[in-house]
Amino acid sequence: MNTTFDKSLPLAIGADHAGYEYKEEIKKMLVAAGWQVSDKGTYSLDSVDYPDFAHPVATMVEQGQAAAGILVCGSGNGVCMTANKHAGIRAALCWNEEIASLARQHNNANVICIPARFVSIEKAEAMTKDFLMTPFEGGRHERRVEKI
């Protein structure tokens, strides 16, 4: 998988109980593609609180310890809201490949948030691939991103 992110850094990934199975499948896909993956949990289907996993993912990206972040919860909203509380994080809630690509191309998103209860695992994997492979276009979008 070609990427616009630095593959010398790991990808940070996290999920709550609703996103656990998707996280595990996405992680396998990423490792098979040659990525290092830093799994911030959760590690089971037991009910948990999404901020406990979104904050560590966002922190790794914020501190330059991860190339990008991948977060999964039931709706995608909780992890997205949590990640966006961090300085320099541009987390995007994505529900199809076009939105995932545009989040990178126009908004320079550095964290993708996936709604496990509303997309298939195949869709989640395709969105993750597109997110990682799409470069930021810059230009007129740079000015807008700087205003964030």
Is 94 considered catalytic here?
A: no
pLDDT at position 3: 62
Distances in whole angstroms, Cα of residue 16 to Cα of each of 41, 50, 87, 115: 7, 5, 22, 11
Domain membership of residue 30 as a residue range: 11-147
Segment 103-116 shows an average pLDDT of 96
Segment 83-108 shows an average pLDDT of 97
Does residue 27 form part of some domain? yes
- Given 17, 55, 86, 106, the catalytic residue: 106
Does residue 41 form part of some domain? yes
Does residue 55 form part of some domain? yes
Nearest to 73 by CA among 46, 54, 92, 88: 54
12-21, 64-73, 138-147: the lowest-pLDDT one: 138-147
pLDDT at position 139: 74
Does residue 64 form part of some domain? yes
pLDDT at position 2: 54
pLDDT at position 26: 98
Does residue 80 form part of some domain? yes
Provide the angle, in degrees to the nearest 10, between the axes of the packed helices 20-32 and 121-133: 50
Does residue 140 form part of some domain? yes
Q: Which amino acid is at 114?
A: I
Checking if the pLDDT of 74 tops 80, the result is yes
Segment 19-42 shows an average pLDDT of 97
Checking if the pLDDT of 68 tops 90, the result is yes
Domain count, the chain: 1
Is 106 considered catalytic here?
A: yes
88-92, 106-110, 139-143: the lowest-pLDDT one: 139-143
Q: What CATH code is carried by the domain that includes residue 115?
A: 3.40.1400.10
List beta partners, residue 14. Answer: 71
pLDDT bin (cut points 50, 70, 90) of residue 134 is very high
Does residue 92 form part of some domain? yes
Task: Establish whether the linkage from the previous residue to 59 is cis, with ω within 30° of 0.
Answer: no
Does residue 107 form part of some domain? yes
- Given 73, 80, 94, 113, the catalytic residue: 73
